[in-house]
Amino acid sequence: MDPLAELKQTFFQECDELLGALEQKLQALDEGSSDPEDVNAAFRAIHSIKGGAGAFGCTELVGFAHVFEASLDHLRSGRVAIEDAPFTLFLRCSDAVADLVSAARNDEPATERPDLLAALEQVGQEPRAQAAPAVAAPAAATPAAALPATSPAPAADEAPPGLAALGNLLAMVEAKSTAAPAKANDDGWDDDEPVAARMPLASAAKPGRDVRLRIAPETDLFRRVIEPRVVLGSLPADDIVAIRCDLSKVPPLETLDVTDCWLRFDVDLRTELSVEELHGRFDFSLANEEFEIELSDATPAAEPAPVAAAPEPEVPTSVAADLSAILAKLGPAPDMAGQPDIQPAPVPVPAAAPAPVAEAVPAVRAAPRAPANDQAAARQRQAVSVRVDLDRIDKLMNLVGEIVITQSMLVECVRSLPYDVYAKTAEGILTLSRQTRELQDHVMAVRAQPVKAVFQRMPRLVRELAQTLGKEVRLVLEGENTEVDKTIIEELADPLTHMIRNSMDHGLETPDERVEAGKPREGTIRLIAEHRAGRIVISVTDDGRGIGRDRLLAKARSRGLVGADEKLAPEEIDQLIFAAGLSTAEAVSDISGRGVGMDVVRRNVESLGGRISVDSEPGRGCKFTLALPLTLAVLEGMVIRCGDDRYVIPIASVIETQHLASTPIEKLPFGQEVLRWRGEVTPLYRLGTVMGSTGTTNENIVIIAETERGNNVGIAVDEIVGQQQVVVKSLEANYGAVNGASAATILGDGLVALILDIDSMLRLAASGDRAPLSDLKMAG
Partner 1 sequence: MSLQLGEKHFSSAQPEAAARRIVTFKVGDRTFGIDVGMVREIKGWQATTPLPHAAQHVRGVLNLRGVILAVYDLRTAIGLGVTDATATHVIVVVDVEDKTAGLLVDSVSDIVDVPVSAVRPAPDLERDEHGLIEGLVLLDTDIVALLDLAAVIRDGGVETQAKANRAA
Q: Within 13 Å of residue 700, how many CA atoms lie on the same side as its CB?
A: 4
Contact 728, 743 (CB under 8 A): yes
Binding mask 182-201 toward partner 1 (x if CB under 8 A, else -) reads: --------------------
* H or E element that contains 412: helix 390-415
Q: Is there binding between residue 391 and partner 1 (CB under 8 A)? A: no
Q: Which CB sits closer to partner 1, 363 or 744?
A: 744
The interface region with partner 1, picked from 126-134, 269-277, 395-403, 482-490 by CB under 8 A, is 395-403
Among 126, 402, 412, 490, binds partner 1 (CB under 8 A): 402
The interface region with partner 1, picked from 45-53, 316-324, 541-549, 752-760 by CB under 8 A, is 752-760
| Minimum CB distance to partner 1, residue 103 (Å) | 29
DSSP 8-class letter at 177: H
Positions in 204-223 near partner 1 (CB under 8 A): none
Q: Which CB sits closer to partner 1, 271 or 487?
A: 487
Q: Is there binding between residue 734 and partner 1 (CB under 8 A)? A: yes
Among 85, 499, 746, 762, binds partner 1 (CB under 8 A): 746
Distance CA 720, CA 686 (A): 14
Number of other residues whose CB lies within 10 A of the CB of residue 446: 14
| Minimum CB distance to partner 1, residue 678 (Å) | 29
Distance CA 623, CA 619 (A): 12
Distance CA 323, CA 345 (A): 5
Among 219, 435, 481, 730, binds partner 1 (CB under 8 A): 730
Q: Which CB sits closer to partner 1, 353 or 648?
A: 648
Count of residues in contact with partner 1, rule CB under 8 A: 29
Q: Is there binding between residue 731 and partner 1 (CB under 8 A)? A: yes
Radius of gyration of the chain (CA): 33
Q: Is there binding between residue 368 and partner 1 (CB under 8 A)? A: no
Q: Is there binding between residue 717 and partner 1 (CB under 8 A)? A: no
Positions in 638-667 near partner 1 (CB under 8 A): 645
Q: For the chain, first and last CA: distance in Å?
A: 52
Pairing of the two strands 209-215 and 291-295: antiparallel
| Minimum CB distance to partner 1, residue 325 (Å) | 55
Read off the amino acid at residue 28: A
Q: Is there binding between residue 681 and partner 1 (CB under 8 A)? A: no
Q: Which CB sits closer to partner 1, 58 or 744?
A: 744
| Minimum CB distance to partner 1, residue 777 (Å) | 25
Distance CA 562, CA 576 (A): 9
Positions in 559-588 near partner 1 (CB under 8 A): none
Q: Is there binding between residue 398 and partner 1 (CB under 8 A)? A: yes
Pairing of the two strands 209-215 and 240-246: unpaired
Q: Is there binding between residue 740 and partner 1 (CB under 8 A)? A: yes
Among 752, 769, 776, 777, binds partner 1 (CB under 8 A): 752
Q: Is there binding between residue 275 and partner 1 (CB under 8 A)? A: no
Number of other residues whose CB lies within 10 A of the CB of residue 596: 13
Distance CA 210, CA 201 (A): 15
Among 729, 763, 773, 778, binds partner 1 (CB under 8 A): 729
| Minimum CB distance to partner 1, residue 724 (Å) | 16
| Minimum CB distance to partner 1, residue 505 (Å) | 39
Q: Is there binding between residue 735 and partner 1 (CB under 8 A)? A: yes
Q: Is there binding between residue 725 and partner 1 (CB under 8 A)? A: no
Contacts of residue 148, defined as CB under 8 A and 6 or more positions apart, other chains included, come to: 189, 319, 347, 348, 359, 361
Q: Which residues of 369-393 are buried (b: 16+ CB within 10 A; e: fewer)?
A: ebebeebbeebeeeeeeeeeeeeee
Q: Is there binding between residue 84 and partner 1 (CB under 8 A)? A: no
The interface region with partner 1, picked from 23-31, 36-44, 600-608, 723-731 by CB under 8 A, is 723-731
Backbone angles phi, psi at 559, to 5 degrees: -90, 0
Q: Is there binding between residue 336 and partner 1 (CB under 8 A)? A: no
Q: In what order do the strands lie in the sheet with 719-727?
A: 719-727, 634-642, 645-650, 752-756, 741-746
Distance CA 409, CA 399 (A): 15
Ranges assigned E (strand) in 236-330: 240-246, 264-271, 291-295
Among 739, 773, 778, 780, binds partner 1 (CB under 8 A): 739
The interface region with partner 1, picked from 253-261, 296-304, 481-489, 725-733 by CB under 8 A, is 725-733
Read off the amino acid at residue 46: I
Contacts of residue 554, defined as CB under 8 A and 6 or more positions apart, other chains included, come to: none
Binding mask 596-635 toward partner 1 (x if CB under 8 A, else -) reads: ----------------------------------------
Q: Is there binding between residue 741 and partner 1 (CB under 8 A)? A: yes
* H or E element that contains 163: helix 161-177
Q: Is there binding between residue 426 and partner 1 (CB under 8 A)? A: no
Distance CA 282, CA 451 (A): 35
Distance CA 211, CA 207 (A): 12
Among 182, 216, 585, 738, binds partner 1 (CB under 8 A): 738
Q: Is there binding between residue 51 and partner 1 (CB under 8 A)? A: no
Distance CA 470, CA 461 (A): 14
Distance CA 282, CA 285 (A): 5
Contact 543, 519 (CB under 8 A): yes
Cβ burial, residue 534 (10 Å; 0-12/13-18/19+) = exposed
| Minimum CB distance to partner 1, residue 746 (Å) | 5
Positions in 468-487 near partner 1 (CB under 8 A): none
Contact 211, 262 (CB under 8 A): no
Q: Which CB sits closer to partner 1, 41 or 741?
A: 741
Q: Is there binding between residue 764 and partner 1 (CB under 8 A)? A: yes
Q: Is there binding between residue 753 and partner 1 (CB under 8 A)? A: yes
| Minimum CB distance to partner 1, residue 412 (Å) | 15
Q: Is there binding between residue 161 and partner 1 (CB under 8 A)? A: no
Contact 229, 372 (CB under 8 A): no
Q: Is there binding between residue 164 and partner 1 (CB under 8 A)? A: no
Give the residues lining the site for partner 1 (CB under 8 A): 398-399, 401-402, 405, 645, 690-692, 694, 729-731, 733-736, 738-741, 744, 746, 750-754, 764
